[in-house]
């Protein structure tokens, strides 16, 4: 009896709270609220992944330096597991109508951003972001658009970079400049293998999902101008010449045994790098942190250069965008405060440098600014001891000089990644040829997804 009553009341209650539709706060309303400069005391909550506690430090710095902007407001960064977990938390609260539990902002990435924007969870910030368009490095906004609107603020834009162990190249008298092209990169791998009697591998290959992520989606595919979907959302990965070029390149590296087979982010790979078995790390600026944190004993040995390019295509790596999305709550009281602090992060050179120096002191992660003006400062060209005096910051900035377009991201791409990756894993495990892998990718994508709506 009590049980039945309890159950009914709970159901009724949850139905009530779930059926209240949010009054989507228009951008204009939010802007009006912001101009008064008054924010209610409370906590601004932000979901992040990776290491959001360092991002929080910038917010705290700002609030300390500007005590009149938002007195009584504190910031909390909640660490979530990853992009999918952050999305899961946000959409659970949103679907349950739990607007008071929603964060004010969340970190995200293109696939989740599109799904959340479609569901009406994110604030439209098109006009706000576009006013800064000319002050950002070219391409900074490219991955932000969804159905011609912008739903997230760009936090950073990191290029694809190749990290190499200078000591190995010196030892065997090989010039790393040969790795400017992918053809040269493969050739360098062959030379290293021969000179070292098979001891030194050009790079690594992961047996799991990271191979598609780093070698494929972010690496060779965009540089080869490859496509998974055509403009109508039909699967073309198995017929696209770019995809064939990208995957055949990986196959060449793998089948000539130029890649050390070892799981990424695992201690055995660190050890292999330490022992000089892995000459380069392909690809992505994040390797900087990976190397500094996990191989501090190799300081001075590593150098960095832009990702190698296909000779005939000349396209650099496709940059990775970091997104910070404001949540469409009925009353987004801190949306403007978030924007103000974000503006300081992007354009207030002093604030950014102070924070960056804190990060350096704590050996914490940070990335280059995306504002053209800020990048002019010599601060962003300072030498980095870990790279033997080469400036990592400058190299990161240079990495954006020649970029390729990222693969089109549809809201089916998280699923597509699992399908494509399974076929590549099967190839890496030696169970099928790369041609078979490509054919199976096409077949499985059509079977399981069909067409993907390209916005």
Partner 1 sequence: MKTARTTRITVYGLLLIWCLVSAFPLFWMVSASLKPPSESFAGINAFIPQDPTFANYARVAQLVPMARNFVNSVIVAGVGMAVTVFLCSLAGYAFAKFDFPGKNALFLLLLATMMVPPEAGVVPLFAIMRALGWINNLLALIVPNAATAIGIFYMRQYISSFPSEIMEQARIDGAGDFRIYWQIVLPVITPALAAWASLAFIARWNDFFWPLLFLRSKEMYTLMVSISVLPVSEGLSTPWPVIMAGTTIAVAPLVVIYLVLQSFQREGLALGAVKG
Partner 2 sequence: MSSNSIWARMWKKRQIYLFISPFFILFGIFQLTPMVWSFYLSFHEWNGLGAPEFIGLGNYRFLLRDKVFHSALRNTVIYWLANSLAIIPLALILASLLNHTWLRAKRLIRTTVFLPYVTATVAVGLIFNMLFDYNSGLINSLLELIGLAPVPWLTSVQTSKLPVIFLNIWRITPWHALILFSGLQAIPHDLYEAATVDGAGALRRFFSITIPSLMPILFFSFITLTVDAFRIFTEPYILTQGGPANSSISIVQYLYINGFSIFKLGLASAVGYALTLILLIVSFGQIIAMRRESGLMEGN
State the Cα–Cα distance between residues 66 and 402, nearest whole angstrom. Answer: 38
Residue 12, phi then psi, degrees to nearest 5: -60, -45
State the Cα–Cα distance between residues 148 and 427, nearest whole angstrom. Answer: 38
Nearer to partner 2, 3 or 28 (CB): 3
Cβ atoms 165, 387 nearer than 8 A: no
| Binding site partner of 98, from partner 1, partner 2, none, Cβ cut-off 5-8 A by kind | partner 1
State the Cα–Cα distance between residues 153 and 368, nearest whole angstrom. Answer: 16
State the Cα–Cα distance between residues 267 and 270, nearest whole angstrom. Answer: 5
- Of the residues 49, 80, 86, 87, which one makes contact with partner 2 according to CB under 8 A: 87
| Binding site partner of 93, from partner 2, partner 1, none, Cβ cut-off 5-8 A by kind | partner 1
Q: By three-state DSSP, how is residue 126 classified?
A: helix
State the Cα–Cα distance between residues 283 and 432, nearest whole angstrom. Answer: 25
Q: How many residues bind partner 2 (CB under 8 A)?
A: 45
- Residue 425 in the binding site for partner 2 (CB under 8 A): yes
Contacts to partner 2 from residues 396-415, by CB under 8 A: 411, 414-415
Nearer to partner 2, 346 or 440 (CB): 440
- Residue 7 in the binding site for partner 2 (CB under 8 A): yes
State the Cα–Cα distance between residues 123 and 126, nearest whole angstrom. Answer: 9
Binding site for partner 1 (CB under 8 A): 10, 13-14, 17-18, 45, 49-51, 53, 76-82, 85, 88-89, 92-93, 95-98, 101, 265-268, 270-271, 274, 284, 286-290, 293-297, 365
| Cα angle 419, 420, 423; round to 5 | 95
Tokens representing 33 are 């609220």
- Of the residues 17, 43, 95, 311, which one makes contact with partner 2 according to CB under 8 A: 95
- Residue 11 in the binding site for partner 2 (CB under 8 A): yes
- Of the residues 43, 51, 232, 418, which one makes contact with partner 2 according to CB under 8 A: 418
Tokens representing 342 are 């974000």
Tokens representing 148 are 């011609």
Cβ atoms 112, 120 nearer than 8 A: no
Nearer to partner 1, 55 or 169 (CB): 55
- Residue 455 in the binding site for partner 2 (CB under 8 A): no
**Count of other CB atoms within 10 angstroms of residue 8:** 10
State the Cα–Cα distance between residues 102 and 95, nearest whole angstrom. Answer: 11
Least Cβ distance, residue 17 to partner 2 (angstroms): 15
- Residue 31 in the binding site for partner 2 (CB under 8 A): no
| Binding site partner of 297, from partner 1, partner 2, none, Cβ cut-off 5-8 A by kind | partner 1
Taken as a whole, the chain contains a residue count of: 455
Tokens representing 208 are 């799991």
Nearer to partner 2, 348 or 455 (CB): 455
State the Cα–Cα distance between residues 70 and 334, nearest whole angstrom. Answer: 10
Cβ atoms 228, 177 nearer than 8 A: no
Tokens representing 453 are 């709506």
Least Cβ distance, residue 427 to partner 1 (angstroms): 24
Query: Which part of the chain contacts partner 2 (CB under 8 A), choosing from 151-159, 282-290, 371-379, 420-428?
Result: 420-428
Cβ atoms 100, 304 nearer than 8 A: no
- Residue 43 in the binding site for partner 2 (CB under 8 A): no
Q: Quick one: which of 69, 170, 282 has its CA closest to 59?
A: 69
- Of the residues 69, 73, 209, 298, which one makes contact with partner 2 according to CB under 8 A: 209
Nearer to partner 1, 91 or 353 (CB): 91
Query: Which part of the chain contacts partner 2 (CB under 8 A), choosing from 139-147, 151-159, 380-388, 427-435?
Result: 427-435
Least Cβ distance, residue 444 to partner 2 (angstroms): 8
Half-sphere exposure of 136 (CA within 13 A, CB side): 20
| Binding site partner of 411, from partner 2, partner 1, none, Cβ cut-off 5-8 A by kind | partner 2
Least Cβ distance, residue 254 to partner 1 (angstroms): 23
- Residue 260 in the binding site for partner 2 (CB under 8 A): yes
- Residue 101 in the binding site for partner 2 (CB under 8 A): no
Helix axes 434-448, 413-428, angle to 10 degrees: 150
State the Cα–Cα distance between residues 27 and 123, nearest whole angstrom. Answer: 7
Nearer to partner 2, 132 or 210 (CB): 210
Cβ atoms 41, 72 nearer than 8 A: yes
| Binding site partner of 429, from partner 1, partner 2, none, Cβ cut-off 5-8 A by kind | partner 2
- Residues within the interface to partner 2 (CB under 8 A): 2-3, 6-7, 10-11, 84-85, 87-88, 91-92, 94-95, 115-116, 118-121, 207-209, 260-263, 266-268, 271-272, 411, 414-415, 418, 422-423, 425-426, 428-431, 448
């Amino acid at each position: 009896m009590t049980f039945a009553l309890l159950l009914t009341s709970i159901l009724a209650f949850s139905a009530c709270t779930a059926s209240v539709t949010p009054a989507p706060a228009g951008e204009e309303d939010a802007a009006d609220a912001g101009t008064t400069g008054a924010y209610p005391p409370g906590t601004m909550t932000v979901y992040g992944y990776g290491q959001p506690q360092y991002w929080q430090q910038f917010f705290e710095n700002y609030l300390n330096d500007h005590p009149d902007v938002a007195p009584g407001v504190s910031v909390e960064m909640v660490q979530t597991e990853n992009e999918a977990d952050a999305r899961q938390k946000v959409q659970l609260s949103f679907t349950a109508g739990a607007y008071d539990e929603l964060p004010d902002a969340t970190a995200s990435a293109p696939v989740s951003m599109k799904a959340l924007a479609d569901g009406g969870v994110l604030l439209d910030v098109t006009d706000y972001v576009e006013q800064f368009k000319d002050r950002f490095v070219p391409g900074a906004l490219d991955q932000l658009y969804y159905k011609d609107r912008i739903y997230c603020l760009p936090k950073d834009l990191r290029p694809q970079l190749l990290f190499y162990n200078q000591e190995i190249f010196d030892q065997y008298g090989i010039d790393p400049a040969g790795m400017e092209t992918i053809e040269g990169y493969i050739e360098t791998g062959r030379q290293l293998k021969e000179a070292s009697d098979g001891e030194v591998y050009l790079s690594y290959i992961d047996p799991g999902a990271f191979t598609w992520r780093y070698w494929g989606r972010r690496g060779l595919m965009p540089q080869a101008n490859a496509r998974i979907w055509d403009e109508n959302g039909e699967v073309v990965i198995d017929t696209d010449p770019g995809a064939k070029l990208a995957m055949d390149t990986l196959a060449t590296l793998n089948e000539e045994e130029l890649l050390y087979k070892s799981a990424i982010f695992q201690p055995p790979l660190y050890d292999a790098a330490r022992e000089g078995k892995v000459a380069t790390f392909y690809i992505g600026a994040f390797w900087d942190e990976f190397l500094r944190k996990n191989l501090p004993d190799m300081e001075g040995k590593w150098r960095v250069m832009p990702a190698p390019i296909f000779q005939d295509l000349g396209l650099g790596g496709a940059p990775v965008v970091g997104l910070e999305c404001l949540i469409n709550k009925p009353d987004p009281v801190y949306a403007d405060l978030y924007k103000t602090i974000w503006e300081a992060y992007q354009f207030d050179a002093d604030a950014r440098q102070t924070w960056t120096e804190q990060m350096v002191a704590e050996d914490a992660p940070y990335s280059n600014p995306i504002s053209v003006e800020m990048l002019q400062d010599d601060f962003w060209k300072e030498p980095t001891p870990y790279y033997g005096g080469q400036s990592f910051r400058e190299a990161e900035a240079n990495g954006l000089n020649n970029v390729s377009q990222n693969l089109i991201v549809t809201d089916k791409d998280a699923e597509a990644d699992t399908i494509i990756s399974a076929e590549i894993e099967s190839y890496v495990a030696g169970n099928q040829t790369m041609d078979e892998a490509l054919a199976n990718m096409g077949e499985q994508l059509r079977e399981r997804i069909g067409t993907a709506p390209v916005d």
